[in-house]
Amino acid sequence: MAGKTISYLLKSGLKTAMLGHLSKESNFPELAYQTVLDELISNNFDEKSLLLNVASRDNHSKVIEI
């Protein structure tokens, strides 16, 4: 669902997205990132058109300027 939502928002100019709230038991950052990336590619979006980040569970995440 995150990938579909981001795909929709890209059409309105979204440039940066942060994936967050990953479950410790059933998900890990690499899988979340790749799943969203695959969805974007399947919707014909160039992966370089979006800065896609994954929030860390244990540390501060990258700062994103709005």
Domain boundaries, the chain: 2-54
pLDDT at 55: 85
pLDDT at 65: 74
pLDDT at 57: 77
Residue 6 pLDDT class (50, 70, 90 cuts): very high
pLDDT at 20: 84
Name which of 43, 52, 54 is nearest 14 in CA terms.
52
Mean pLDDT of all residues in 42-55? 85
